[in-house]
Structure 1
Amino acid sequence: MSQVDKQLDDIRAEIEQEVPSGISITEVAYEGPELVVYTRDPKTFASNGDLIRRLASKLRKRITVRPDPSELSEPSDAKATIENIIPEDAGVTDLDFHHDTGEVVVEAQKPGMVIGRHGSTLREITQEVGWTPEVVRTPPIESSTVKNVRNFLKQERDDRRDILERIGRQIHREEMSDDEWVRITTLGCCREVGRAAFILSTPETRVLIDCGDKPGAEDEVPYLQVPEALGSGPSSLDAVVLTHAHLDHSALIPLLFKYGYDGPIYCTEPTRDLMGLLTLDYLDVASKEGRTPPYESEMVREAIKHTIPLEYGDVTDIAPDIKLTLHNSGHILGSAISHFHIGDGLYNVAFSGDIHYDDTRLFNGAVNEFPRVETLVLESTYGGRNDYQTDQADSERKLKEVISDTIERDGKVLIPAFAVGRSQEIMLVLEEAMREGDIPEVPVHLDGMIWEATAIHTTYPEYLRDDLRDRIFHDDQNPFLADQFNHIDGGEEERQEVADGGPCIVLSTSGMVEGGPIMSWLRHVGGQDEGTMVFVGYQAQGTMGRRIQNGWDEIPVNDGGGRADTLSLNMDVETVDGFSGHADRQGLENFVRTMNPRPEKVLCVHGDESSTQDLSSALYHEFNMRTFAPKNLETFRFV
């Protein structure tokens, strides 16, 4: 008998001692980080509301209770009962029964009404029919991404269950080493923006945090071939943690599966969906530009199948000696600061990913309260000594002035924007400004993936700022459904119609003018003297966006037939700071200043060389802590 099987037998015996005598336990198994308990008495289990909570506390594990398949009622009978229990106002759109696990997936417009106060409705469902309900939200705006991900995971349930059981046994294996040390190796994004990738290793475990590309430099990828990463073979990697879905953090996650990785990816649920959306588009753009994509779309599906979604604040075992907790980072939908608790109180490391310290229209500000953090790996995108962004109110005022001036002269406003995050922030500003009469009402055209990304935002309102979440719950107040917003889905013909028409605003990807539909808009409207191009997000060195910011007015573009051409950019060019999803220099300092307790060491990463060095020096002098501005391929040992 293996160590894990013995462990499960011991846990089963402990559970049987704890539960009332009338409850039978038929099986106990690991599925990923969760302990799954099967019982022939799900109704009795559900009637004791505190029992699962007591077991989870006693065993110090996340527990899911499922009915033994032999005890399940017929789906047709259960369906009628469930529909009778759930309030009609919940807007149930689908019930999907899975006999192998005893789960019924309830899709509803208002999941909170399905859950009930403190889970009361869920318990009532199990008490009445025996099935274990799982609740998902019906997107207010139809999302093909969410639909495709859910359908794919439904089709792959058997395979996914095998994957989770294998991962669960790996997580709960016996520790093999008596040594104690913690190391971080930098594989990218040090003294540069992009290709984020780090290895966190202990004698027992190796975890990869992020695996992105570098904007404007397609040949520069993380150093995955070194022994600390995949150089020792893909099986040496225990887990991958993805902080958020932007391509400079996620683009090469599917590449790991091409190389033979077969383990878990931990991230939030919206990050999983957005990763699928952005990486598939990444492949599409590469193909259209005549580049060989680094992996096939099948690898994106493998990544999604291996993803284990976590909610903010859930403490989760991901290895015998590591617990992971994700916290809101305030950057984009589902973005997370990743906190690792290593050993039995041995050491604690937090990777910031990308953070925004203050509240924005979209998100609550980044969380920086942790029980312990000895080392913080901190982004430094705006860490330079002069990187102070404009106040958000001033930024919105300037944007509205630029838009009003442009519309007054019958021009068009072209805004290159990241599909995820900045576009939705700008949409909220425009919706309110038009509603309150601060700018004229004109069409706002959304091109590229912006509409689809917005649909995903409305699928997960619990990850948005509190007041925005409440507005989305009411269809008549959902700002993303405003009449001004038009989804461009007619391609070049529709773009030409817009270009020939009157004043309007166009939000289009890509945000750094590196391919995508923004290049088409430059061809259509870039030569119009009365128009304005407005940058609202960070433009990395080497990107076309940075070059335009620096004064380029002769822009190389593809003519649509595969031939290179040069475009004269006659539009005015404006930059409106303050809409970035990144904290500025003051925000980064405040993030560290208000941490309690403060870390002993800070590694300043994900910024240009001067930005990382400036921030490192400032934190050292202000807080008397050890700080570093590492280069790529450095290894730091702690403990």
Structure 2
Amino acid sequence: MSTVEKQLDDLKETIASEVPPDISVTEVKYEGPEVVVYTRDPRKFAEDGDLVRNLASKLRKRITIRPDPDVLSAPEKAREEIMAVIPEDAGVTDLDFHEDTGEVVIEAQKPGMVIGRHGSTLREITQESGWTPEVVRTPPIESSTVSNVRDFLKTERDDRRRILEKVGRQIHREEMADDEYVRITTLGCCREVGRASFVLSTPETRILIDCGDKPGSEDEVPYLQVQEALGAGANTIDAVVLTHAHLDHSALIPLLFKYGYDGPIYCTEPTRDLMGLLTLDYLDVASKEGRTPPYESEMVREAIKHCIPLEYGDVTDIAPDVKLTFHNAGHILGSAVSHFHIGDGLYNVAFSGDIHYEDTRLFNGAVNDFPRVETLVMESTYGGRNDYQTDREDSEERLIEVINETFDRGGKVVIPAFAVGRSQELMLVLEEAMREDKIPTVPIHLDGMIWEATAIHTTYPEYLRDDLRDRIFHEDENPFLADQFNHIDGGEEERMDVAEGDECIVLSTSGMVTGGPIMSWLEHAGPDPDNRLVFVGYQAQGTMGRRIQSGWDEIPIGGEGGRTQRLTLNMDVETVDGFSGHADRAGLMNFVKTMNPRPEKVLCVHGDERSVQDLSSGLYHDHNIRTFAPKNLETFRFL
């Protein structure tokens, strides 16, 4: 008998001894980080709200209770029983029964009403029907991404269970190593912005954190080929952790599966969906620009299938010697500060990913309160000595001034924006400004993936700022449903009509002018000096956005037959700081200053050379912390 099988037998005996004698335990399995307990008495489990909680506390495991398939009532009968329990105001739109696991997926407009206070309605559903409920939100704005991901995972349930059981056995395998150390190897984003990637290693485990591209570069990718990463084989990596979905962190995650990786990806649920959206678009843009994509769309589906979503605050075993906890990073939807607890109190490392420390219109500020942290790996995008962003309110006032000035002369405002995060932030600013008559109410055209990304935001309001979440729960107060928002879905013809029409605002991807529909808007709106191009986000070195920001007024665009033509920009160019999803110098310093506990060491990464060195020096002098500004391919040993 294997160690894992013996472990499962012991778990089954322990669980059986802890539950009342009239509750059966027929089987115990590992599925990913969870222990799944099968029983012929799901109703009795549901009757005692503390039973599962006490078991999880005793075993220090996440526990899911499932009914044996042979004790389930028929789906037709169960549907009636379930609908009789759920309040009508919950707005149930679908029930999907899975007889192999005894789970019923309930899709509802108001999931909170299906869950009930402290899960009371969920327990009542199981008491009445015997089925184990899982609740998902009906998107207020129809999202093809959310629907496609849910449908895909439904069709792949058998394969996904195989993956989860395999992962569960890996997590709960016996520890073999006698040595003790913690190492971090930098594979990208050191003294540069983009291609974020790191390996966290112990004698027992190897974890890859992020795997992104570099904006404005086609061939600079993370150093995955080194021995510490995939050089010894893709399956020497035990787990992948994705901090958020922006392409400079996620673009090459699917490439891992092309190389043979078959393990888990830990991320939040919205990060999973956004990764699917952004990486598929990444492939589409590469194809349209005549570049060979690094992987096929099938690899994106593999990545989604291997995702294990975690919620903020859940402490989760991801290896025999590593526990992972996600915390809100305040950057984009689902972005996470990733905290790793290694060994039995041996060492703790936190990776900030990208963070915004102060509250924004979209998100609560980043969490920096942890049980323990010895080393912090910290983004430094705006870590330079003079990288202080304009106050958010001043930035909004300046944007409103720019828009009114442009409309006064009969022009249009074109804003290159990242589809995820900055676009939704701007939508909230513009909707409020029009509602309060600070700017004229005109159409706001959303081009590229912005509308789809917005739909995903409304699917996961629990990840948004508290007051915004409360508004979205009531559909008539959902600011993203304002009438002035128009999704551009008519291609070049619609863009030309908008460019030749009345005053309006255009939000278009790509945010750094590296391709996509923004190139069409420059072509249609750029020659008119009454129009204005407004930058509101970071423009990385080497991108067209940085060049235009620096004064370029002639830019290359694709012409007929693949020939490159030059376009003269007569439109004004304006930069309005303060809308970045990144903390500025003060925010980064305050994140560390107020961090509980204060880390012993900080690795400053994800910033140009000046930014990381300035931040590293500032943290050392102000807080007497050992700091580093590593280069790519350095390895740090902490024990």
**TM-score clears 0.5:** yes
Partner in structure 2 of residue 622 of structure 1? 622
Paired residue type of 2:536: V
Q: CA deviation at 1:562?
A: 2.2
What's the counterpart of residue 144 of structure 1? 144
Query: C-alpha distance in 2, partners of 1:95/1:457?
Result: 23
**2:453 corresponds to:** 453
Mapped to 1, the partners of 2:597 and 2:502 lie a distance apart of 56
Deviations 1:41-81 (A, max 9, x none): 00011001100000000000000000001100000000011
Secondary structure, counterpart of 1:225 in structure 2 = coil
SS in 1 for 2:21: coil
Distance 1:371 1:124 in 2: 35
**Partner letter of residue 20 of structure 1?**
P
State the alpha-carbon separation in 1 of the partners of residues 560 and 612 from structure 2: 40
CA deviations 1:466-520 (Å, max 9, x no partner) are 0000111111110000011000000001001001101100000000000000001
Is 1:425 paired with 2:425? yes
> C-alpha distance in 1, partners of 2:457/2:57?
33
Measured after TM superposition, the shift of residue 563 of structure 1 is 2.0
Shift of 1:561: 4.5
> Take 1:596 and 1:473, find their aligned partners in 2: how far apart are those partners?
33
1:258-407 equivalences under 5 Å are: 258-407=258-407
**TM-aligned CA distance change 1:458 to 1:561, over 3 Å:** farther
Aligned to 1:185: 185
User: For 1:3 and 1:90, how far apart are their aligned partners in 2?
Assistant: 45
What TM-score do the two structures reach when normalised by structure 1?
1.00
Partner residue, 2:414: 414
Q: Distance in 1 between matches of 2:596 and 2:453?
A: 35
- The AA in structure 1 aligned to 2:357 is Y
Structure 1 distance, partners of 2:436, 2:511, is 27
SS at match of 1:105: strand
Partners of 1:624 and 1:496 lie apart in 2 by 57
**Aligned-pair identity (%):** 82
* Aligned pairs (5 A) from 1:440-589: 440-559=440-559, 561-589=561-589
Matched, 1:214 2:205: no
Offset of 1:560 from its aligned partner? Answer: 5.6
Instruction: State the one-letter code of the partner of 1:537.
Output: G
Does the residue aligned with 1:428 lie in a helix, a strand or coil? helix
Cα distance between partner residues in 2 of 1:130 and 1:156 = 24
SS at match of 1:603: strand
Give the Cα–Cα distance (whole angstroms) in 2 for the partners of residues 565 and 338 of structure 1: 45
Give the CA deviation at 1:425.
Answer: 0.2
1:84, distance to aligned residue in structure 2 (A): 1.1
Q: Residue type of the partner of 2:200? A: L
3-state secondary structure, aligned to 1:82: helix
Equivalent residue of 1:25, what SS? coil
2:139 corresponds to which letter in structure 1? P
Mapped to 1, the partners of 2:109 and 2:99 lie a distance apart of 24
CA distance in 1, matches of 2:488, 2:629: 43
- Distance in 1, matches of 2:559 and 2:154, equals 42
Partners of 1:492 and 1:296 in 2: CA distance: 27
Aligned length: 639
Write out per-residue CA displacement over residues 393-440 of structure 1, whole angstroms, 9 at most, x where no aligned residue. 000000000000001111000000000000000000000000000011
Q: Name the amino acid aligned to 1:230.
A: L
Please list the CA deviations of residues 206-258 of structure 1 after superposition, one character each: whole Å capped at 9, or x if unmatched: 00000000000110000000000000001100000000000000000000000
2:159 equivalent in structure 1 = 159
SS at match of 2:586: helix
Q: How far apart in 2 are the matches of 1:122 and 1:540?
A: 48
Secondary structure of the corresponding residue to residue 529 of structure 2? coil
What CA distance in whole angstroms lies between the structure 2 residues aligned with 1:257 and 1:312?
26
Aligned equivalents of 2:277, 2:181: Cα separation in 1? 38
The one-letter code sitting in structure 2 at the alignment partner of 1:351 is F
Find the aligned partners of 1:526 and 1:93 in 2 and give their Cα distance.
Answer: 46
Q: Distance in 1 between matches of 2:409 and 2:626?
A: 55
1:559, distance to aligned residue in structure 2 (A)? 2.4
Match for 2:593: what amino acid?
R
CA distance in 2: counterparts of 1:597 and 1:260, whole angstroms: 39
Q: What is the rounded CA distance, in whole Å, between the counterparts of 2:252 and 2:300 in structure 1? A: 10
Q: Who is 1:55 aligned against?
A: 55
Write out per-residue CA displacement over residues 427-463 of structure 1, whole angstroms, 9 at most, x where no aligned residue: 0000000000001111100000000000000000000
Say which SS state the counterpart of residue 414 (structure 1) adopts.
strand
Residue 12 in structure 1 maps to residue 7 in structure 2: no
Which residue of the partner structure matches residue 114 of structure 1? 114
SS in structure 2 of the partner of residue 178 of structure 1: coil
Matched residue, 1:246: 246
- SS in structure 2 opposite 1:574? strand
- 1:591, 1:235 → 2: CA distance? 35
1:601 aligned to 2:607? no
Residue type at the aligned position of 1:403: I
Gaps of 5+ in 2: none
What amino acid is the match of 1:508?
S
- CA apart distance, 1:361: 0.1
SS in 2 for 1:244: coil
The DSSP-based 3-state class of the residue aligned with 1:552 is: coil
- Render the CA deviation track for 1:496-545: whole Å, top value 9, x for unaligned: 10011011000000000000000011111111110010000000000000
Secondary structure (helix, strand or coil) at the match of 2:26 reads strand
Whole-angstrom distance in 2 between the partners of 1:471 and 1:408:
33
Tell me, what secondary structure is at the counterpart of 2:123? helix
| Residue identity in the other structure for 2:371 | P
Distance 1:49 1:359 in 2: 35
Aligned alpha-carbon RMSD (Å): 0.5
Distance 1:560-1:606 versus aligned 2 partners, 3 A rule: farther
Match of 2:134 in 1: 134
Does the C-alpha gap of structure 1 residues 437 and 560 become closer, same or farther in structure 2, counting only changes over 3 Å? farther
Cα shift readout 1:336-373 (whole Å, capped 9, x = no counterpart)? 00000000000000000000000000000000000000
Counterpart of 2:265 in structure 1: which amino acid? I
Rounded to whole Å, the distance in 1 between the matches of 2:50 and 2:333 is: 33
Distance of 2:625 and 2:417 partners within structure 1: 37
The offset of 1:323, in angstroms, is 0.1
Match of 1:84 in 2: 84
CA–CA distance in structure 1, aligned partners of residues 363 and 514 of structure 2: 27
> Aligned partners of 1:333 and 1:561: how far apart in 2?
39
Q: Deviations over 1:155-189 (max 9, x none)?
A: 00000000000000000000000100000000000
Q: Distance in 2 between matches of 1:477 and 1:595?
A: 36
> Partners of 2:519 and 2:158 in 1: how far apart?
43
- 2:631 is aligned to 631
- Distance in 2, matches of 1:231 and 1:331, equals 32
Q: SS in structure 1 opposite 2:153?
A: helix
Q: Which runs of 4+ in 1 moved over 6 A?
A: none
SS of residue paired to 1:52:
helix
Q: Distance in 2 between matches of 1:31 and 1:528?
A: 59
Aligned partners of 2:493 and 2:94: how far apart in 1? 37
**1:20 Cα shift?**
0.4
Q: Which amino acid aligns with 2:618?
A: A
2:369 partner SS: coil
- 1-structure distance, mates of 2:634, 2:250: 21
Give the TM-score normalised by the residue count of structure 2.
1.00
